[in-house]
Structure 1
């Protein structure tokens, strides 16, 4: 949710030197799937595809909003339901994920004070079978990190095992944390680091559990999930967004959906191909090789695609995001000051 001033200044500087705007749309792969039309959703920070309701996506605001989750119709962009979590004082909800039990998991895991809160929380409730405004009872889980407080925005529930993972962030990158095999509503759930990951704003498992994707503002990386740990495949093309906060797979696993903060924010659909596809829909050769050349590196085509798209990503971000991120940083700095005064 929080943008850094150095990033904003760097982007603004690139824009001022005249990077061509045409390169921002050089790749026509990703396209806008729908626009969130609800004025109450100004800081969409998580995204999860419904299993019960085809074409519906769950989202929520981050800090400053109440304990609310919204069901959005991807065909119209309209809100079909506002779900209120009973008895919850939401502090900074940053992520949402759907577990194999059919429950939604909401991660109240953000920390604008750079790791000042010793505990964060996860809220769980069954995905509503009927879409209308309602209040639901939730199970609340207390979370601590083994190596001390962390700021985080990504929470992922594995669709086969039900294990919950959190990706933390800081200026130099973060860690992927694994929760206990089963969360307990009594006592504290200790999350332990299992891998280093980049600075991320969200993440998601593929529906079959064979892939993990982590995204930041300007990039995304996908991983093959093997025996409870990530193995990097490569970089993914990310659409240019004002403040890219969320990502999830479509229910068929063939595309990624990217969300952003902002009023009337657009959710983009980016088709997947080759080794980036989950195992249950990937071509047999890619599923076996993992999209690698057998020497531990990416295939030649993947490397070329990465180089080709890198310039367009930087240019698009510089032109569209630079000044916007500066404003976001100022807004969030003021928010942190208010929290410290409270």
Structure 2
């Protein structure tokens, strides 16, 4: 075969290989997610300003509200959503913030809202960014966020989940790996004057293709969203304790724990964008409502 033709075939073969790996990963996830799940439509986002809702987190100030943000290619703005209706009731523009791909939101135990500019589809970014603002509520405003640079100790990674431990034990990023995600622990406290190094947690396990996640309110459990379902992990061992498939949506993107700890909200990109409530199984609800056991370092 002509060398030029051989070179032309290589990209096509790589695409085929990637598709095979992706299908295999999704098949494994579908087999692993064997729990039953109750899903209820809560509301729908129809506002044209939110065409690509990429993250979701419930307000700690007002549990009737949640926040979302568009991903790459949009003006960096945090939108306040009324959960029961899906209406946009607030828009907070991040003034002066240059972002690449905003993919996650989290609220820490102090009430700081973190915007995670951590998307990296081609795994080429040397650093990613976390932006911090006070939790907004209603109305339109512009704020200048605090910026924190982060790099992964083991090289570049694509990620769409930022987790903030409600008991104050720091934050974590979960990568979006084809064959499984990597959990990274962020330094505590974060530095604004130097790049923060996120360390991989060697014994932590995460499913493939994680698109969002959240701690449950007691800090003892973590729930991760993937393209096909939800996965509950013990926050001490980071081992999976339960999983379930979800009904198919346009693009499974977001997840937020609800304040009572018995359910999570999930959303998707594109308009209209439904917000659905997923009720966790009884044994998981009971475990989550138990006193938090804390986080241990597994490195």
**TM-score with structure 1 length normalisation?**
0.72
Q: 1:69 to 1:150 in 2, by over 3 A?
A: same
Q: CA RMSD in A?
A: 2.4
State the match for 1:175 in structure 2. Answer: 182
Question: Which runs of 5 or more residues in structure 2 are unaligned?
Answer: 1-16, 28-35, 294-299
Query: Equivalent residue for 1:54?
Result: 63
| Contact kept? 1:179, 1:191, Cα under 8 Å | yes
Structure 2 equivalent of residue 138 of structure 1 = 145
State the alpha-carbon separation in 1 of the partners of residues 107 and 61 from structure 2: 11
Deviation by residue 1:3-30 (Cα, 9 ceiling, x = unmatched): x97379969xx9xxxxxxxxxxxx7820
Counterpart-to-counterpart distance in 2, 1:107 and 1:223: 21
1:201 aligned partner: 211
Q: Alpha-carbon deviations, 1:44-67, whole Å to 9, x = none?
A: 110000111231110001001111
CA shift in 2, pair 1:116/1:280, >3 Å: closer
Shift in CA distance, 8/84, structure 1 to aligned 2, threshold 3 Å: farther
Q: How many residues align?
A: 264
Pairwise CA distance, 1:177:
0.3
State how far apart, in whole Å, the 2-side matches of 1:63 and 1:141 are: 19
Structure 1 unaligned spans of 5+: 15-26, 289-342
| Structure 1 match to 2:117 | 108
Q: CA offset at residue 181 of structure 1?
A: 1.9
In the other structure, the counterpart of 1:152 is 159
Aligned to 1:242: 250
Summarize the Cα distance change of 1:224–1:170 in structure 2 as closer, same or farther, 3 Å threshold.
Answer: closer
Distance 1:239 1:122 in 2: 31
TM-score using structure 2 length? 0.82
Q: Greater helix share, 1 or 2?
A: 1
Contact 1:57/1:71 (<8 A) preserved? yes
What is the alpha-carbon distance in structure 2 between the residues aligned to residue 86 and residue 239 of structure 1? 37
Q: Which residue of 1 aligns with 2:30?
A: none
Distance verdict in 2 for CA 1:171–1:41, change over 3 Å: same
Aligned twin of 1:189: 196
Distance 2:51 2:175 in 1: 23
Alignment of 1:308-323 (within 5 A): none
